[in-house]
Chain A
């Protein structure tokens, strides 16, 4: 009898779970006869079983609901919300009573009357109480093939949109979970026994026949293990089962309208994983309804349909399950979020001004934050998304959020397919073995690899892999194991990604193997260490601990994700880049060394020919668009083609002359080794080399200083051969003198100390290019150069004249 009762309870609860979503669908479409039939059959079955099992309370409740549904069936009443609510209340009570049958808590029977009254009150026509004759006929024989079939297939079709498929559903049986767990551990024992046997066989001389049988056994065991593993999988439908009902109840309570669209219910997930995801998902859906979806009035005002749309999509992506919860509500109010964060002292106003949009949205996952203007019974107590994130990350998942104001919010959960069997790497440190989830490992490298360089800066070790810098920790150091000196060989570096922080590099002595590991939770005494996520028994039979990537980073005190925002204020404000890394231009100096300059200050890169460079005393200029821009590195002006980096600081510009541009790279904002003084800010690790980073501040300061001393430098002696030319004498000479040059008059040859000769194109035509070693600047009268006048300067172009003078003197020096 107990067995039958137990089965009754299990069946009733399971059917209830399936039906709760159907009720909502039925309310949406009261004409759907097949759904009505399903409920009817449920109450009918309960009523019948109760008679058989002598459970009068169940019978009375089921009868009441059945009556009401029969009336709807006959068209005597409609499936209005009141009726649906009353029917749901009765279903809940039956569920509660069924659960109580197992325990000893009791619900006072008088409460049932209130439910039944509600069922009656919502009935508009009292005559529906009359027992419907056709439903009473088979009360004593309910366990017909029909109802049995229904229950057996129930778990297979939990989706609300699913129509009944009669008896063609795959045959299923109900098994206690404990039995499956026992099967699982039995098969694990078998695998261990097989491994032990394999070891012993290896120690013996080879016997082909024995080996053959062993191989067969081995393959069978592996198959069996796979099959048993599959029994752990369940459809995501189970995750969905309770949602339609919840959405319905909540939206009624909140006075909102929302449709729920569930997709991907056929995706399979580990049973335990479903349990772990259920609460976070429920919370996210509640939030979406409470905060996301607006009231019908607000939605109308915003030009949206009155009914909000909530969509949940599950899909498998590799060995992950992706669950997306989308709403088309108002989106997340960033300003309110930031204001809350500042009030809660999670953020200073200065930090708030700098954080990115993603970081702003991620604030929602910080403890003690809720954007709900008021605390409702549904959500907004400030405990919520932080717990959701913690729960998801605990099972190795990732939660991300995207939100468009006014358009809605999408929250994406990515969780591993299964909690208990994960692919893992087994790493060794001397005699200790540890497992690490393969998901966390981005790549493996030999320490000796050419792509890797390791350096120590101020106690922190940094591994640079293909130009990316990572914090570097040794497993032995974090675990305080003490590195065995005798085994100091080349080590293996693992780039580790953890959900709670930036990637880092973990050094281990060796990576032994790659296995599918059955993970069990570790006891509190072990998890207290903070670096272990669980334990496992790999095929060698040696128990092993599973490393927790985030925990290792935490114990090693590596910066966590939360630190991103707090690091930012330390970054130089002068640099216009807001990210922790910035782009830098790598170039080749004219002496061949490679250097970096922050890309943000580089306005453009220009090809410069030598004659565009003007030297003026110790100062140098580059002529750009008839303007002289202070130039650094101008000397010597001998090679034909140069490049100029035009550095821009708002009003000021300067040209930094280089041999060539090499590449644009991401480099950290803070240099690795700061150098005080000079043009350099410090050293930055790029790939395997350290490269000097220019300090734009120093460059501009230098250019400024140069400008000031340009006049104080040694004057350029300009020779004007034709002292009788009035323009030369009266117009040009004063200008040159004003600019700090010396002017001499007289024929060429007598004034060998002159730096440059200035003459008109008329002189040039007469004397030809026989000025000897002294450079000559020929000035022409026409603004546009004529074909005959090569390399002439228009005489009213003051800047060009000065540039030409400066340039010409350079050639001599």
Chain B
């Protein structure tokens, strides 16, 4: 069984795993400039040196509302389709090797997570939902996530 690198983090106390190949960096963002007229999960813009990140609140995206409070600033930076994004997470625990193939999700998963969780990644005996960052970047209702 081949192993690959995963980034382990948590959103709304749910442990998640992201393929490290998707991740460029994890940073603490400075000021986030809000954007009017966009969906609530698009938190705003943040500058990372000379780049402009579009900050996505993953929790708001998953649950459709609420989300992190304004002080949240830990973000996973990733380039998706030539745009730079920062995905806000509660915490990041580790980057380490885990078996390449994700396990199927056993048991009934909360429906709000269903469109995002593609499997389970095990780390130190704990299960993490495997998510794909690009799923959070496309506007809801577009592409594969016709929910």
- A residues engaging B (CB < 8 A)? 185, 188-189, 191-192, 432-433, 479-481, 520-526, 528-532, 535-537, 541-545, 555
Chain B interface residue count, CB cutoff 8 Å, equals 28
Q: Which of B32-70 contact A (CB under 8 A)?
A: 33-39, 42, 45-47, 49-54, 56
Closest 7 A-B residue pairs measured CB to CB? A188-B50, A543-B45, A529-B37, A523-B83, A479-B36, A189-B50, A543-B52
Chain B 11-25 per-residue mask, 1 if CB under 8 angstroms from chain A, else 0: 000000000000000
Q: Tell me if A529 and B36 are in contact (CB < 8 A).
A: yes
When distances are taken between beta carbons in the complex, the residues of chain B under 8 Å from A481 are: 36
Q: Tell me if A189 and B49 are in contact (CB < 8 A).
A: yes
Surface stretch bound by A, among B106-114, B118-126, B136-144: B136-144
When distances are taken between beta carbons in the complex, the residues of chain B under 8 Å from A523 are: 54, 80-81, 83, 85, 137
Cα-based distance from A275 to B55 in the complex (angstroms):
29
Check A529/B52 contact, CB under 8 A, given A521-B82, A523-B83.
no
- B residues engaging A (CB < 8 A)? 31, 33-39, 42, 45-47, 49-54, 56, 80-83, 85, 137-139, 142
Cα-based distance from A479 to B82 in the complex (angstroms):
26
Question: Separation in Å of the B31 CB from the closest CB of chain A?
Answer: 7
Residue of B at shortest CB range from A434?
Answer: B36
- Which one of B34, B35, B80, B82 has the highest number of Cβ atoms from chain A below 10 Å of its Cβ? B35
- Can you give 26 A-B contacts (C-beta < 8 A)? A185-B50, A185-B51, A189-B50, A192-B50, A432-B36, A479-B37, A480-B36, A523-B54, A523-B85, A523-B137, A524-B142, A525-B56, A528-B38, A528-B139, A529-B35, A530-B37, A531-B37, A535-B45, A536-B52, A537-B51, A541-B47, A542-B31, A542-B47, A543-B45, A543-B52, A544-B45
Cα-based distance from A179 to B42 in the complex (angstroms):
31
Cα-based distance from A185 to B51 in the complex (angstroms):
8
Identify whether the interface residues of A are mostly helix, strand, loop, or mixed: mixed
Q: Tell me if B52 and A535 are in contact (CB < 8 A).
A: yes
Check A192/B82 contact, CB under 8 A, given A480-B37, A525-B56, A526-B54.
no
Question: Separation in Å of the B23 CB from the closest CB of chain A?
Answer: 17
Q: Which of A479, A521, A530, A537 contacts B47 (CB 8 A)?
A: A537
Q: Which of B35, B52, B137 contacts A520 (CB 8 A)?
A: B52
Cα-based distance from A542 to B53 in the complex (angstroms):
11
When distances are taken between beta carbons in the complex, the residues of chain A under 8 Å from B42 are: 525-526
When distances are taken between beta carbons in the complex, the residues of chain A under 8 Å from B33 are: 432-433, 542-544
Cα-based distance from A523 to B139 in the complex (angstroms):
10
Question: Separation in Å of the B146 CB from the closest CB of chain A?
Answer: 15
Residue of A at shortest CB range from B33?
Answer: A543
Cα-based distance from A191 to B49 in the complex (angstroms):
10
Question: Separation in Å of the B71 CB from the closest CB of chain A?
Answer: 17
Check A526/B50 contact, CB under 8 A, given A521-B82, A521-B83.
no
When distances are taken between beta carbons in the complex, the residues of chain A under 8 Å from B53 are: 543
When distances are taken between beta carbons in the complex, the residues of chain B under 8 Å from A480 are: 36-37
When distances are taken between beta carbons in the complex, the residues of chain B under 8 Å from A530 are: 37
- Which one of A191, A479, A526 has the highest number of Cβ atoms from chain B below 10 Å of its Cβ? A526
Q: Which of A185, A525, A541, A542 contacts B54 (CB 8 A)?
A: A525
When distances are taken between beta carbons in the complex, the residues of chain B under 8 Å from A526 are: 35, 38, 42, 54
Q: Which of A525, A545, A555 contacts B139 (CB 8 A)?
A: A525
Q: Tell me if A524 and B138 are in contact (CB < 8 A).
A: yes
